[in-house]
A = this chain, B = another copy of it.
Amino acid sequence: MKAKAAVLREFGKPLEMQEFEVQPLGAGEVLAKVVAAGVCGSDVHIWKGEDPRTPVPIILGHEGIGEIADLGSQKRDVLGRELKPGDLVMWERGIMCGECYQCVIAKQPALCSARKTYGISVSCAEPPYLNGHYAQYIHLRARCHFLKIDPEIDPKVLVPASCSGATATHAVEQADVKPGDNVLVIGPGPVGLYVLASCLNRGAGAVYVAGAAPDKQRLELCKQFGAAGTLNVSESTPEERAEQIAEWTHRLGFNVGIDCTGITASVGEFLQYVAPYGAYLIPGIATPVGQLPVSLYEHLARKNVRLQGVWVSDTSHLYQAIRLVLSGRFPFETIVTHSYPLEAANQALDDMATRKAMKAVLEPWE
């Protein structure tokens, strides 16, 4: 059996369609038919060669949902349900060793010292080749974790949960958002919307969102998700933002800021608005962005504030993200704005790069 895939051979050059021979499954391995693959904002960085983890050639795509096509041996999902061909499933995008300090002692497999990610750091040069989601099939390693999905949902809607959503729930978990907290989310893209929803889902008293001009429509969407207010950075001065934030928070500052922009200047502006004992998390920083001058006394020490990185996610965060979408409380169906056949992967990347699409998905079998 053969499977088509969109392959990145050279950074910055168009992906090329290629056929791969599907390999036999080892014990515990699973072949999944990719129903929908997400085109993540970070795929644009990866495509440009800005992510130091990426080898070429590679089948891009680390987000997805699919059907069980074949099983190397009996297998259960994380809730103990046996998997059968045809089952709609989602899976953990990271390949963890299960044996290192991070996996076993710290119990934080997101930081596994040997972690690889389908579509980001596993080349397609060696068997089993099908190591990314921009493909008809993906060959998942033994010990991959699965969650069965009720087939009644539109699978596309769940796609962003597998990376943006899981990273967001991981960020919110670490932010330790408490009921009643005031939160500022910076960057109203897919991660930002998941963060917004996840904060509300953990009882935040009010969540506000800051974004720039091209995000105006996205800021409107944030209100549909439940944002208590928005800040358009392109249509206000820093002083106006400071005043607005002071008013929103009774001059206490935000208990939590979660910066999904990946832009140092954003951290530079909004870190100062964290309340004493609060936290500012930066899940948006996923590739090198240089240095930010930080006022250690004024912005961290004097207020006992933490500035914290958030790195990817593990299966527990994926589980949280999926249950968040399935709760039906938030209009997640609005996040996926564009879908394409597999062959149009370059167009999809382009529409993500130009922010024409909020979130694009590829549907290799449409």
The interface of chain A, by Cβ under 8 A from chain B, is 75-76, 78-81, 98-102, 104-108, 110-111, 113, 143, 145, 169, 173-174, 178-180, 198, 201-203, 205, 250-252, 264, 267, 275-277, 279, 282-283, 285-311, 314-316, 319-320, 323-324, 327
CB neighbours (8 Å) of A113 from chain B are: 80, 252, 276
Distance between A32 CB and nearest chain B CB, rounded to angstroms: 16
Distance between A298 CB and nearest chain B CB, rounded to angstroms: 7
Most buried by B among A251, A289, A304, A319: A304
Contact present for B297 and A180 (CB under 8 Å): no
CB neighbours (8 Å) of A285 from chain B are: 296-297, 300-301
Contact present for A179 and B294 (CB under 8 Å): no
> What are 18 A-B residue pairs whose CB atoms fall within 8 Å in the complex?
A76-B99, A78-B105, A99-B145, A104-B315, A106-B277, A108-B277, A110-B304, A178-B320, A179-B323, A180-B319, A180-B324, A203-B203, A267-B296, A285-B297, A302-B309, A303-B309, A304-B310, A305-B309
Distance between A229 CB and nearest chain B CB, rounded to angstroms: 15
CB neighbours (8 Å) of A145 from chain B are: 99, 104
Most buried by B among A102, A174, A291: A291
Assuming the contacts A101-B79, A201-B179, A250-B81, asked whether A264 and B107 have C-beta atoms less than 8 A apart, the reply is no
Contact present for B296 and A289 (CB under 8 Å): yes
B106, B289, B302: the one contacting A297 at CB < 8 Å is B289
Assuming the contacts A78-B104, A292-B296, A309-B304, asked whether A320 and B203 have C-beta atoms less than 8 A apart, the reply is yes
Bound complex: CA A319 to CA B201 (Å) = 17
Contact present for B179 and A324 (CB under 8 Å): yes
Contact present for B252 and A101 (CB under 8 Å): yes
Bound complex: CA A305 to CA B310 (Å) = 8
Distance between A193 CB and nearest chain B CB, rounded to angstroms: 16
Bound complex: CA A282 to CA B99 (Å) = 30
Bound complex: CA A295 to CA B285 (Å) = 11
CB neighbours (8 Å) of A309 from chain B are: 296, 299-306
Bound complex: CA A251 to CA B105 (Å) = 15
